[in-house]
Amino acid sequence: MRNRITYVSGEDRESLLFGATWFYDFIRQVAVPTILLLSLPMCVRLSLSMFDFDDLFVKFYENPFIQPYDNSGFWIECDGVRGKVTAINYQCVQAETIEGTEMSFLNSSLFGKNFNNLTRNNSYELTIVTVGVAYGTEIQRVREVLVEGMQKMRTKDQYGRDIVDPNYGFNVVVGNMSDSAVDINVKQMVLVAERVAYFDRAKEAIYDALTAAGITIAFPQCDVHLIQEE
């Protein structure tokens, strides 16, 4: 095409031809080399498939090329399994569960299920700790004792973030009224990455606060009455 354009000459010929031949140059210098480069993996796949080496090709391309955006990672929950995403590739998502095991979810099956991205909108998750108190206990006093006793749970993680969301705080409400106790629910927003360890510490803090205040933690019990006949 450049050779056919003869009406442009001189020292500025190359710069003047850009407006007339840019599309031709784009196809020849950019598009064709790109297509050739992208065709190499397909050629390798076809060559390996002739000798039943498909698994070798898949193993090679399972190398992760996308990493989580920060050190804390994304937290997801799928089929009741909760874990921190450690690697993402074009075939699967690898996650480390709270039990310390490594699990892989195929992208096709993962997006076909109802999974939760626990850290997509924010890093906090509602956490409810339930404790039972005896009937006849003053609820307002229990609320004051628990709110004060839970203040020591306002700590920070290794990245300097508040483990308990300061905007939500601690909300103490009455839950179910069971046969042996009145259930008290302590609600708070907790960092997803710290939820498991926080839950255990919170139960200990609630127990210590109620015991120190002399409030009875109810438990199932049965009274037996013996009747002696004359």
> Distance between CA atoms of 123 and 117, rounded to whole angstroms?
10
Quick one: pLDDT at residue 87?
A: 83
> Distance between CA atoms of 145 and 64, rounded to whole angstroms?
50
Domain boundaries, the chain: 1-61, 75-117, 124-212
The pLDDT confidence band at residue 54, using thresholds 50, 70 and 90, is: low
Q: What is the pLDDT of residues 165-208, one digit of tens each?
A: 999 999 999 999 988 899 999 999 999 889 889 999 999 999 99
* Tokens (6 digits) for 17: 């031809």
Q: Is the pLDDT reported for residue 50 higher than 50? A: yes
Quick one: pLDDT at residue 95?
A: 85
* Mean pLDDT calculated for residue range 76-103: 81
What DSSP string runs through 36-99?
HHHHHHHHHHHHHHTTT-HHHHHHHHTS--B--SSSS--EEEETTEEEEEEEE-SSEEEEEETT
**Right CATH for 124-212 from 3.30.70.100, 3.40.50.880, 1.10.357.10, 1.10.3720.10:** 3.30.70.100
More confident residue, 4 or 28: 28
What architecture (CATH level 2) is domain 75-117? Roll (2.30)
The pLDDT confidence band at residue 55, using thresholds 50, 70 and 90, is: low
Could you tell me which of 209, 137, 145 has the C-alpha nearest to residue 180? 137
The pLDDT confidence band at residue 91, using thresholds 50, 70 and 90, is: confident
More confident residue, 138 or 76: 138
